[in-house]
Structure 1
Amino acid sequence: MERKKNISMAVIRRLPKYNRYLKELLRTDVDRISSKELGERIGFTASQIRQDLNCFGDFGQQGYGYNVKELLNEINGILGLAKEYKMIIIGAGNIGQAIANYTNFERLAFNLAGIFDVNPKLIGLKIRDVEVKDIDELAGFLKATPIDIGVICVSENSAQTVCDMMVSNGVKGIWNFAPVDLEVPKEIIVENVHLSESLLTLSCLMNDRTYS
C-alpha cells in the first residue's frame, strides 16, 4: 500500500494504539469492525479513524467495515514490524534494567543484543542471559555486530558522547531516556522519552482541570 507524503506526527503516534486495540479484537475473535465501533473502543471519532487510515491507503469497504486481521497486518507493516531489529542498551541502571526485562519487545521482534555500562558493580551482571559489558567494549562490539537501535539510559552529561559513538558506528535509531536533546545527523531518527517532562505534562493538565 503506497503511503502518502507529509503524514503528521500526530497520526504516526496514534498507530501503536491502533495496533494494540486491533490485537485485542483478534484475541476476542472479532473478525470485522466498523470505523464507528473501532472509534468507540479506542476513544476516537469514526471520522478520525477514517482520516488516519486514509493517510496510508484505502482500507475497509463501505457497508462492511474493516477486516481486523488484514488491517492489523497493514498497520504492522507501516510500523515496520515485518522485520527484526537488533538493539543495545547503554546504561544498566534502573531504567536500563527495566527495559531489558520487558519481554514484550522480543515478541515485537526487537531483540536485545547487548547491554553496556561504566559501573564496575554492574559489569558482568546478566539480565535475561545478556551480560552487561564495559562501555569501553562498545565501539568494538558495534564494528563486529550491526545494530539498528541504541537505547540511551545514561546521565545527561554522558548521553551525547554515547550517542556520537553509536551513530559513528552505524546505529540509525536512538531511543533516548536521558533528559537532554541530542544532536544527530538528519538521517538519524531519535525518539525521546523524557520521564520528567511527561510527569510535568500530567501535572499541568491536572492543574488546568482544577482551575477550569
Structure 2
Amino acid sequence: MSKNGNISSSVIKRLPRYYRFLGELEKQGVERISSRELSEKMKLTASQIRQDLNCFGGFGQQGYGYQVQSLREEIGHILGVDKAYSTILIGAGNLGKAIALHINFETRGCQLTGIFDANPRLTGETVGSLAIRHTDEIEEFCKAEHPVIAVLCIPKANTQAIADKLVGLGIRSFWNFSHYDLTIDHQGIEVENVHLGDSLLTLTYRTSHLKDSEEE
C-alpha cells in the first residue's frame, strides 16, 4: 500500500511499465536487479525508480537491489491485477471486438463478463466466449452481475448519456475509446480516456521534425 494517499498521476502511469518490464525479466530468468540496471533498461534514472517505489514503501535492499518476482507481485497487487473486477464492453464494432479478443483482461485485474451493442443484427453473435447482448439488456445484466468497469467503444454522441446511465447502475470506472473526453460529475468515479489518434499524431509530429532536422 502507499505511504500516503497522494500519489502523482505520473507515478501511477509508470507502474504498468515497471510491471511489464519486470515480467520480461522474470521470463528471462533474472532473479534480482539493481535500480541502476533497471534504470538502464527502462530509460529512467535510478533515483526516479527509487522515488517511485518509495511512494509505496520501497521494496529494495541496499547492496542487493530488487527481487524481481517479489517486486512484480507487489506492483501487481498495487495495480489490482489480482482483483478480477467484473467488466462490460459497450459497442461491438470492429474496435470493440478487437479489444474483447486481444486484450487479456484476466491478467489486468478484470474479467470481461458482458458485451453489448445497440445493433440488433449483432445480438447473439459470439466474440470469444461471450455472446453479444442488445443494449436494452444492460440494466437487467448490471442488477444481476454487478459489473464495476465499463469499456466504451461507442459513437461520440452517445457517450455521456450512456456513461451517466451506467453510473446509476453501479459502474465505477470507465475505459473510454469513444473519441469523446468523458467527464463524470460524481465522486468515486474513475475515467481513462483513450485517444489512439492522439498517439499517432504525436508520432507524425516527431517524424515531421525528424525529417526537418535531417534536411538542415
TM score, norm. by length of structure 1: 0.94
**Where does 1:171-190 land on structure 2 (aligned, <5 Å)?**
171-184=171-184, 185-190=186-191
Assess if the C-alpha contact under 8 Å between 2:92 and 2:132 holds in 1: yes
Output the amino acid matched with 1:204: Y
Quote the residue 1:193 is aligned against.
194
Report the secondary structure of 1:17's partner residue. helix
Report the secondary structure of 1:59's partner residue. coil
Output the amino acid matched with 1:75: I
Identity of aligned residues (%): 49
Alpha-carbon distance, 1:119 to partner: 1.1
- Give the distance between the partners of 1:2 and 1:51, measured in 2 at CA: 12
Quote the residue 2:83 is aligned against.
83
Report the secondary structure of 1:101's partner residue. helix
- Give the distance between the partners of 2:99 and 2:20, measured in 1 at CA: 19
Report the secondary structure of 2:120's partner residue. coil
- Give the distance between the partners of 2:170 and 2:162, measured in 1 at CA: 13
Report the secondary structure of 1:174's partner residue. strand
Ranges in structure 2 where 5+ consecutive residues have no aligned partner: none
Alpha-carbon distance, 1:141 to partner: 1.1
- Give the distance between the partners of 1:210 and 1:44, measured in 2 at CA: 26
Q: State the Cα RMSD in Å.
A: 1.5
**Where does 1:146-185 land on structure 2 (aligned, <5 Å)?**
146-184=146-184, 185=186
Quote the residue 1:16 is aligned against.
16
Quote the residue 1:130 is aligned against.
130
Quote the residue 1:50 is aligned against.
50
Alpha-carbon distance, 1:206 to partner: 2.6
Assess if the C-alpha contact under 8 Å between 2:80 and 2:108 holds in 1: no
Alpha-carbon distance, 1:11 to partner: 1.0
Output the amino acid matched with 2:206: L
Q: 1:7 to 1:209 in 2, by over 3 A?
A: farther
Could you give the per-residue CA deviations for residues 90-138 of structure 1, whole angstroms, max 9, x where no partner exists? 0000111011102522233421111110112211101112110111111
Quote the residue 1:116 is aligned against.
116
Report the secondary structure of 1:111's partner residue. strand
Output the amino acid matched with 1:88: I
Output the amino acid matched with 1:207: S
- Give the distance between the partners of 2:209 and 2:8, measured in 1 at CA: 26
Report the secondary structure of 2:114's partner residue. strand
Ranges in structure 1 where 5+ consecutive residues have no aligned partner: none
Aligned length in residues: 212
> Which region of structure 1 is more displaced relative to structure 2, 90-99 or 156-165?
156-165
Alpha-carbon distance, 1:6 to partner: 2.1
- Give the distance between the partners of 1:187 and 1:108, measured in 2 at CA: 20
Report the secondary structure of 1:39's partner residue. helix
Quote the residue 1:63 is aligned against.
63
- Give the distance between the partners of 1:209 and 1:93, measured in 2 at CA: 36
